[in-house]
Chains A and B, each alone.
Chain A
Amino acid sequence: MKDAFGLPQSLLVLGGTSEIALATARRLIARRTRTVWLAGRPSPGLDEAAGQLRGLGAEVRTVAFDALDPAGHEEALGKVFAEGDVDMVLLAFGTLGDQAHDERDPRAAVRVAQTNYTGAVSSGLVCAGALQAQGHGSLVVLSSVAGERARRANFIYGSSKAGLDTFAQGLGDALYGTGVHVMVVRPGFVRTRMTAGLPEAPLATTPEAVAAAVELGLRRRAETVWVPGALRVVMSALRHLPRAVFRRLPV
């Protein structure tokens, strides 16, 4: 069960090798979390992540999960929920793609959309149903500021996150009053493997900062969390810029 500060005792991570997810898991293990499920494609990386969290004192298990295989989601995740209550699900999988390449290769672009959006719709709904049946739990969805406004540099990724974000907001409204809390997290540029080699955007942040923001959001039962918080103001200004101006911005 969650405690009074919204901190979970059991955690399911979808996208078990995500650096943001692992930073969040580490932070939660330091507080209340004792059981962690890492869901992801079986790989040495997944096992290594599990081992690392075990070293912190948590009981960690892995489960084979592929965002690109929605047909398998019900079975894979059903197995986790059958083992006991899950206090928090962290939906953390996603791919950035390669904008320039993906524009030329529509099938690669579709793969980004299918991972980030379709995979999230499917697994998100499976988890939401299970959380609703147990009457409690938080579904934390890692969105992105990229979903807030289309940018020339990453609009394929951005559009998939826009879809994910809208889906998660609606799901949160649908689950209002059911004991299930949906929280959308919108980080800006996070220094991770995914962004390695990319030019750093202003207000760049770290996985640990996202993890801290997630913990704060859980305590406040927040519906939306920006990381860093200043992005809320920045994006609300940018959202209202005329497109002709926005297009010329070096963002």
Chain B
Amino acid sequence: MPADTVSVTGWGRTAPTAARLIRPRTYEEAALAVRDCGARGGIARGLGRAYGDAAQNAGGTVLDMTALDRVHAVDADGGTVLCDAGVSLHRLMEVLLPLGWFVPVTPGTRYVTVGGAIGADIHGKNHHVSGSFSRHVLSLELLTADGRVRTVVPGTPLFEATAGGMGLTGVILTATIRLLPVETSLMCVDTERAADLDDLMARLADTDHRYRYSVAWIDLLARGAATGRAVLTRGDHAPLDALPRRTRARGEPLSFRTTRLPAAPSFVPEGLLSRTTVGLFNELWYRKAPRARTGQLQRIPAFFHPLDGVPHWNRVYGRSGFVQYQFVVGHGREDALRRIVRRISGRRCPSFLAVLKRFGDADPGWLSFPVPGWTLALDVPAALPGLGAFLDELDEEVAGAGGRVYLAKDSRLRPDVLAAMYPRLDDFRALRTALDPRGVFTSDLARRLHL
């Protein structure tokens, strides 16, 4: 197996550390890599879309799982797929859409692996209806520290520790996933503008249940009366009879086409994303959105994954990279959400395309992020002075409201705040100690937060 010592970072490109990168091509090679990963342990890595340090392991081994990318079996009648953990959601869409099936949950990028989707227990715009990714996992195979491969099914402690467990229970090798039937590969989308935060929250609370997918882009640089102004985009998979007659789409309703623009350049000067440029962008983004428009047909990439069109878009933040902050506060704690939004607007964090949505019921993963309530995600250049201390204050506010931040996006949380956010943390630690007494599976995230 080829192994190189390379510098590894998450998608936010902060805090690089060096690790031995191994790319197993078979399950046996993966087992061998786990056995030989040495005193500083190992962690599985997919396509590197976790923003922080979840898939890096300083001085140890990182298992790049993307060569294990076979789709083993699709049950086109029952709507399930059995595939390797290294398969991306992009690949699954290519395979499944022509058969009339869609992935049950997709985040804002198609370039995540199935293993990563389970490890971070990802959520999408349909969380209020469909829950997180692990709800649709029927079983998975987990390579554990003792070298065994275990079949893990929902309802067991090992499943609940693995779903959202950030790869720390073992290496996921395969998974069987329940799929969503679709008639076309197009989305039927309603767009509307909300003038301010209260307007936005009222619209979301009153009408979310009518849509399978729902999300709001919120302008966190807007101040005064416009604080929290937003563009809501909501919709569902378009049924066949929603497609206009005599269009090409009608001929092949399930085709999946994606386009990619040139990649962002590898060098971008620091400070390109300043208050001025981001403010301008947000203004344009808000203004260009229709006040209200219904039934617009959009392709899957345009609706779900607009940023996937620009490879390496994370480079636009320059050398210092960026920090993504996503938190959730429960229903009834709208006061905390309002305070946080006001603080972010007041502080003029140059965040473009911040996202607000409502979560539905939680899934049982012990470190799974979603709980019923409101979740806000924003990204900010790491070079912004005083950002660390500011986000620490937001952590206090979030924890005080019984909320939590998302580990797949974290790169800076203080370990002592974590326990308040994740009440099952001790169960998780106990299970890890029993399952992996030598601490074979570890990551920079695990070291930083003492997971």
Contacts and interface: CB of A to CB of B under 8 A. Distances in A.
Interface of A: 1-7, 9, 31-32, 85, 132-136, 177-180, 219-221
Contacts of B72: none
B18 to A, nearest CB: 3
Given A9-B448, A32-B414, A179-B17, A1 B53 contact: yes
| Top-7 shortest CB links A-B | A135-B59, A179-B18, A135-B58, A4-B14, A4-B411, A1-B448, A136-B58
Contacts of B58: 1, 85, 134-136, 179
Interface of B: 5-7, 12, 14-19, 40, 52-53, 57-60, 319-321, 323, 382-383, 387-389, 411-412, 414-415, 444, 447-448
23 contacts: A3-B14, A3-B448, A4-B12, A4-B15, A4-B321, A4-B411, A4-B412, A5-B387, A5-B388, A6-B15, A9-B415, A32-B388, A134-B58, A134-B59, A135-B17, A135-B40, A135-B58, A136-B16, A136-B18, A136-B444, A177-B6, A178-B18, A220-B319
Contacts of A2: 15
Given A134-B59, A136-B58, A178-B18, 15 more contacts: A1-B448, A2-B15, A3-B14, A3-B411, A4-B321, A4-B382, A5-B14, A5-B387, A85-B58, A134-B58, A136-B18, A136-B59, A178-B7, A179-B7, A219-B383
A183 to B, nearest CB: 14
Contact of B447 (A1, A4, A5): A1
A16 B411 CA distance: 30
Contacts of B320: 219-221
A19 to B, nearest CB: 24
Chain A interface main SS type? loop
Contact of B18 (A7, A9, A85, A177): A177
A141 to B, nearest CB: 20
Given A85-B447, A136-B17, A136-B58, A3 B7 contact: no
B277 to A, nearest CB: 20
Contacts of A32: 388, 414
A203 to B, nearest CB: 22
A2 B58 CA distance: 11
A177 B4 CA distance: 12
Contacts of B15: 1-4, 6, 136
Given A5-B412, A178-B18, A133 B59 contact: yes
A93 B364 CA distance: 53
Contacts of B447: 1, 85
A22 to B, nearest CB: 21
Contact of A220 (B323, B383, B411): B383
Contacts of A179: 7, 16-19, 58-59
Contacts of A9: 415, 448
Contacts of A31: 388-389
Contacts of A135: 17-19, 40, 57-60
